[in-house]
Chains A and B, each alone.
Chain A
Amino acid sequence: MSQKDMVCIVCPMSCKVSFDINPDGSITKVEGHSCPRGENYVRKEMTNPTRMLTSTIKIEGAFYDRLPVITSADIPKSKIFDVMKEINNTVVKAPVKLKDVLIENVCGLGVNIIASRSMKAVEDK
């Protein structure tokens, strides 16, 4: 068993949460958090940490040539660079609407890459 501290990042309170990790991987004695989200965060972070990913994607025919994008849900932290690779290899065409799905089921994660904004088509940049 080992004791560990972690700063909860769910809200700006930044609670320092301490907990025990047991040999079987289970987590007990979670302390220091001021709301239930702190405990949930710690458990998830220790078992399957996930993150939202934001980046840009190539777009053709718009007045910028990059479009900001975001994952539709959080993805495993370990998959961030795989997802980036797929985003980088994709080109979309204007017009795009906010929340349009640009890559479906990215890297087979069951999560989509969606547009963070609308971008109109322009004839001449």
Chain B
Amino acid sequence: MRTYDLVVIGGGSAGLASALSAYEQGIRDILILERDKELGGILQQCIHNGFGLIEFKEELAGPAYAERFIDLIENNGIQYKLNAMVTHMSNDKVIEYVTPSEGYVTIKAKAIILAMGCRERTRGAIAIPGYRPAGIWSAGTAQRYLNMEGYIVGKRVFILGSGDIGLIMARRMILEGAEVLGVAEIMPYSNGLPRNIKQCLIDFDIPLFLSHTITRIEGLDRVTQVEVSQVDENFRAIKGTEKYFDVDTVLFSVGLIPENALSEEADVEIHPRTRGPIVNESYQTSVDGIFACGNVLHVHDLVDFVSLEGRKAGIAAARYLKDELKPGDTFDCIAKDGIGYIVPHKVNVENVEKSLECMFRVTKNVKNVALTIKKDGEVLRTVKKRHLAPAEMEKVILSKADLLGCKESISIEITEV
């Protein structure tokens, strides 16, 4: 059985960045396993621009952003395998993968970086009533058909969910000749970036129905109509508010879920809120030598942050391989009032070099509030914020000095100013 120093599962934005940074740290025996026929992951179908402002200081389309990383992988001669699906992974870091060129292969890794990304929540998962005909897709599937395979999935479209993929697909469908009759969002606010609402909906006069959801899908063979209703504060449809749209297609953009079937197989502990692994300051999961980054860890809204996180995980994995990660006590990062979760979940301050970035999401839209950061229950710092939204990942940076001496926990909460 071949042993690699580092195996990266997933050749998308997180995997590529982590492999590169591990390489930069001197790790040479690296293998990236990618299930698609080329590297780049989901970026290859995200043909819109807006990627790279942080990473490359310019706005790039998704495939261009991916290509910059792929070129670096190629130039450094980092090994990767395409059409390579990992089918099993164990907690002793034995990996089984399969490719048409090699068949079924079992390898061992000294360290693993999980970078499998996420999947879309489906119509089935949210149990929207009605029929189950052709014409119902998650937005990302329609995006792949449209942008990569060159197929149009429908001519008259309604979209449920105002996340960025839904908004971007609304514009793409219109540009390719379809009509988009509306976007419904069950929350009283959109989960998409305001710039996408403006450029993808308002620019094309597509109505956005906030606090609305699809309550029925009609059509025996192909979608013929959707019924859209307003919802109350418990997200239950309000009778009498029904609107009807004659469409042949419904796209669902109702959330992304980190894809952790493999992680679970290797006994990696999963956080109930993020549905990604529980990690420490070094992005190491509950299993020794298995690291996680990107959307498999928690769903990001900017690819630049995925790359940053990938890089950090790559550096940490390299330190692990060089035996530089110190064992020791950890304290917890606790999400309190108004905060959904914090990544990392645990910290061993010994391994924090200069500072620690705590990434988190708030649970609702708030304006003019403060973020109160507490160390073992004592206020460490208060940061004023004009605007916080669940759609936007936030971060606070804590210096090593801030963290030293912490015994139990660092917590973050939203407080009044």
Contact = CB atoms under 8 A, between A and B. Distances in A.
A12 B175 contact: no
Contact of B194 (A9, A34, A64): A9
Contacts of A52: 49, 59
Contacts of B405: none
Interface string B6-49: 00000000000000000000000000000001000000100111
Interface in A13-71: 13-14, 34, 51-56, 58, 63-66, 68-70
B54 to A, nearest CB: 11
Interface in A60-90: 63-66, 68-70, 77, 80, 84
A65 B150 contact: yes
Contact of A98 (B47, B64, B193, B199): B64
Given A12-B193, A68-B147, A54 B198 contact: no
Given A9-B199, A54-B48, A117 B194 contact: no
B61 A70 contact: yes
Q: Could you tell me the dominant secondary structure of chain A's interface residues?
A: loop
Contacts of B387: 13-14
A34 B194 CA distance: 16
Interface in B165-206: 172, 175-176, 193-195, 198-199, 203
B392 interface: yes
B148 A117 contact: no
B57 to A, nearest CB: 14
A116 B37 contact: no
Given A56-B47, A66-B147, A116 B61 contact: yes
A70 B49 contact: yes
Contacts of A12: 193-195, 392
A105 interface: no
Contact of A63 (B37, B195, B386): B37
A10 B149 CA distance: 32
A7 interface: yes
Contacts of B150: 56, 58, 64-66
B118 interface: no
The binding surface of chain B is classed by DSSP as helix
Given A56-B47, A56-B147, A66-B147, A14 B194 contact: yes
B148 A116 contact: no
A3 interface: no
Nearest to A59: B150
Contacts of A69: 47
A118 B68 CA distance: 11
Interface string B35-77: 0010000001001110000000001111110110000000000
B67 A98 contact: yes
A70 B386 CA distance: 34
Contacts of B44: 117
Nearest to A45: B198
Nearest to A8: B194
A56 B198 CA distance: 22
Given A54-B48, A54-B49, A55-B175, A117 B149 contact: no
A117 B63 CA distance: 6
B14 to A, nearest CB: 19
A68 B194 contact: no
Interface string A90-103: 00000000110000
Contacts of B61: 54, 68, 70, 116-117
B64 A117 contact: yes
A55 B148 contact: no
Contacts of B175: 53, 55, 80, 84
Contacts of A56: 47, 146-147, 150
A15 to B, nearest CB: 9
Contacts of A66: 147-150
Contacts of A80: 175
Given A54-B49, A66-B147, A116 B63 contact: yes
A118 B39 CA distance: 13
10 contacts: A14-B387, A51-B203, A52-B49, A54-B48, A55-B47, A58-B150, A66-B147, A77-B203, A116-B47, A117-B66
Q: Which 5 A-B pairs have the closest CB atoms?
A: A9-B195, A117-B63, A68-B47, A116-B61, A66-B150
Interface of B: 37, 44, 47-49, 59-64, 66-67, 146-150, 172, 175-176, 193-195, 198-199, 203, 386-387, 392
Given A12-B194, A117-B44, 20 more contacts: A12-B195, A13-B387, A14-B195, A51-B203, A53-B175, A54-B48, A54-B49, A55-B172, A56-B47, A58-B150, A64-B149, A65-B150, A68-B62, A68-B147, A70-B49, A70-B64, A77-B203, A99-B64, A116-B47, A117-B61
